[in-house]
Amino acid sequence: MENKEQITYIGNGLLINAPAKINLSLLIAGKRPDGFHEIETIMAKINWYDEILIERGPEPGINLICKGQYWAPQGEENLVYKAAQIFMDNCQLKEPLNITLTKNIPAGTGLGSASSDAAATLIGLNKYLKTEIDNSLNSMASDLGSDVAFFLDGPLAYCTGKGEKIYKIEKIFDFTTLLILPDISVSTKKVYENYRHDMALYEKLKLQINENITKNRIDLVTKVCANMLELSCFSLNKQLADLKKEIEKLNIGNCCLSGSGSTLYCLFERGDESEVIKYQNMIKEKIGCNCLVASNNRW
């Protein structure tokens, strides 16, 4: 995949690339008093992007156009629209806006594309309208969803709370990833509702992962391949569990679940993409599942 710039001017419009993410680790610390789950996760942006084009509209209000390979909700149900609305309300603006979302990343796959789209909209409007309210974007992001704040910065961070407490990891962690993309959409809500907490497992994984974070060894974190939502996701989606077993039989390394699913991924060091492409072709040939090769995003 090609690395792209975050923001590009196109005529009188502004194009913002919205990268996907993968969870390099995902622990559940337990359930919170508010009913949400307390999470501890390391998230990394990858160079696969949705696109947000912001232009001046013909009349007051927000006009959202959705296009691209994958479906996205239209109008006020879309996080892009909600992000634009909360931004305009916060700035007390009524500029006429045309916003075009090109959906290249499928929803319900654990790649955070809707959250990234929302963050890109906030960043883009702040730039396009010259409002210079960078310090206010985080509070808007938290109102929009748990993962949105992560996409305002990056490219690598340790996130806690519901995912909205962001601790940027300064170390550059270069990797190539093979994304395995089954034609399955997973409901994050159902996965969390189905989750049964294992405190002993949490304590064991937390010890391992925190020790590696302290040493600044994110590469060792990824080798743990820890995702405490995996059991819940797989119990709801047996075909995903079966797919992981089939991939692991090919002996290409750890196969991990991103977020609540459905994307599985295998991680490799940067520098030998020809080997990764060989594995990509092997999975397509032997299992028949769509795969994509990506790498860590630079911003």
Show which residues are catalytic: 21, 147
Coil, helix or strand at residue 73: coil
CA dist., res. 291 & res. 299, Å (int) = 24
Residue 244 backbone dihedrals phi, psi, to 5 degrees: -60, -45
**Ranges assigned E (strand) in the chain:** 7-10, 13-31, 37-56, 62-68, 97-103, 156-160, 165-168, 175-180, 256-257, 264-269, 291-295
Sheet with 264-269, strands from edge to edge, namely: 256-257, 264-269, 175-180, 291-295
Instruction: Give the distance between the most distant pair of CA atoms in the chain.
Output: 58
Distance of CA 95 to the CA centre of its chain: 30
Cβ proximity of 54 and 93 under 8 Å: no
Partners of 266 in the β-ladder: 178
